[in-house]
Amino acid sequence: MPAAPQVSIFIPCFVDQLYPHTALNMVKVLEAVGCQVHYNPAQTCCGQPAYNAGYKAESRDIADKFLTDFAAPAGAPRYVVSPSASCVGMVRNAYSHLFAGTPEVARCNAVQQRTYELTEFLVDVLGITAIPRAALPGRYTYHDSCSALRECGIRAAPRQLLDAVAGLTRVEMAETTTCCGFGGTFAVKFEAISVAMAQQKVEHALATGADYLVSTDVSCLMHLEAYIRRERISRGAVTPYA
């Protein structure tokens, strides 16, 4: 009998503070497909907010801690899995720039090669095509987050898993690959543009008649949900779902 895949979970700041149920559900899914899940309570941030704000030295310090927190135990390699393509994209791409030309390159590469977003890990690494006993009646439409699609190359995996959920049907919205307008500090610095982009995304989702709006990134869903609440759009019309 093959050994259970060993997984260290990374819980992003947004998930930890605002959507803890997403982290708990991730653990349930990983255990349901036979993984042994590990959680390091010392973990904090991947460093992306500081990096995107231009604080490279500070973000490198945070990234260095991330490498320490997720170093694989000797003789026991572990995957690092996160319910956020945004954070995974930070580790895979920005870390290469942060640690270029430093003695930490090898340590950085070792962690990067083991880090995955949840859906791509299930489909591309474990070969999972359906989550056991998953069922949800209704229709969903999917938002391709910029980080998932452009930084991590994730498009098919989440749809494949969702399409296999009993009772759930996909209805694609128009311009599914267009940004929702969040972009971290972009939503603060360019509020009017950010809100207009959210409006367009929500209108496209509503036009499908879907019950659920799904994405790999809770930051996108938080932004869209804020617009839905501000405009007092019926939650029964479309519900952001992570």
Kindly state whether residues 147 and 199 are assigned to the same domain. Answer: yes
pLDDT in tens, 27-83: 999 999 999 999 999 999 999 999 999 999 999 999 999 999 999 887 777 999 999
pLDDT digits (tens, 9 = 90+) for 98-152: 999 999 999 999 999 999 999 999 999 999 999 989 999 999 999 999 999 999 9
pLDDT digits (tens, 9 = 90+) for 188-204: 888 899 999 999 999 99
pLDDT confidence of residue 239:
55
Res 43: pLDDT? 96
- Give the model's pLDDT for residue 172: 97
Q: What is the domain-level CATH number for residue 196?
A: 3.40.50
Is there a single domain that holds both residue 17 and residue 119?
yes
Q: Is the pLDDT of residue 236 over 90?
A: no
Residue 29 domain flag:
yes
Task: Mark whether 31 and 92 lie in a shared domain.
Answer: yes
- Given 87, 104, 125, which residue is the final one in a domain? 125
Q: Can you tell me the distance from the alpha carbon of 159 to that of 192, in angstroms, rounded to the nearest whole number?
A: 31
One domain, residues 197 and 111: no
> So what's the pLDDT on residue 171?
97
* Model confidence pLDDT, tens digit, residues 80-109: 999 999 999 999 999 999 999 999 999 999
Are 17 and 120 found together in one domain?
Answer: yes
| pLDDT at site 161 | 97
Closest-CA residue to 201 (of 219, 175, 182): 175
62 within a domain of the structure (yes/no): yes
Same domain for 106 and 199? no
Q: Which residue has the higher pLDDT, 221 or 242?
A: 221
**What pLDDT is recorded for position 235?**
61
Q: Are residues 95 and 197 in the same domain?
A: no
Same domain, residue pair 147 and 82 = no
Give the residue from 102, 125, 148 where a domain finishes: 125
Task: Flag whether 28 is in a domain.
Answer: yes
Looking at the domain assignment, is residue 104 inside a domain?
Answer: yes
In a domain, 1, yes or no: no
What's the pLDDT score for residue 237? 55
Local confidence band at 19 (pLDDT 50, 70, 90 cut-offs): very high
**Residue 183, pLDDT score:** 84
CA distance 2 to 175: 43
pLDDT at 223 over 70: yes
105 and 206, same domain (yes or no): no
- Quote the domain boundaries for residue 29: 6-125
Percent of the chain past pLDDT 70, that is, above it, reads 96
Single out the residue in 71, 104, 125 at which a domain terminates: 125
Q: For residue 96, what pLDDT is reported?
A: 97
Q: What is the pLDDT of residue 97?
A: 97
| Residue 147 within a domain | yes
Closest CA to 48 of 151, 171, 129: 151
Residue 131 forms part of a structural domain: no
Q: What is the pTM of this model?
A: 0.92
- Assess whether 118 and 227 both reside in one domain: no
**Sheet with 6-9: strands ordered across:** 36-38, 6-9, 79-82, 115-117
Q: What is the pLDDT of residue 78?
A: 93
| 163 neighbors 131 (Cβ within 8 angstroms) | no
For residues 84 and 153, membership in a common domain is answered with no
Q: How far is CA 107 from the centre of its chain?
A: 23
In the chain, the number of structural domains is 2
Sign of CA dihedral 80, 85, 91, 92: positive
Share of the chain above pLDDT 90, in %: 84
In a domain, 144, yes or no: yes
Task: Say if residue 78 is in the same domain as residue 42.
Answer: yes
